[in-house]
A = this chain, B = another copy of it.
Amino acid sequence: MADIIKRLPSLPSERALKVISGRWKAVILYHLFDGPRRLSELRRLVPAVSQKVLIQQLREMEEHGLVHREIFREVPPRVEYSATTLGQSLEPVLLALCEWGQRHAEELGEFDQVGDCVIRPRQSA
Contacts and interface: CB of A to CB of B under 8 A. Distances in A.
B65 A97 contact: no
A97 B26 contact: no
A115 B10 contact: yes
Contact of A65 (B8, B100, B104, B114): B104
Contacts of A103: 86, 89
Q: How many copies does the complex hold?
A: 2
Contacts of A104: 12, 15-16, 19, 64-65, 86
A114 B15 CA distance: 9
A42 to B, nearest CB: 16
Nearest to A26: B13
Interface in A91-122: 92-94, 96-105, 107-108, 110, 113-117
A20 B103 CA distance: 14
Interface string A12-49: 11111101110000110000000000000000000000
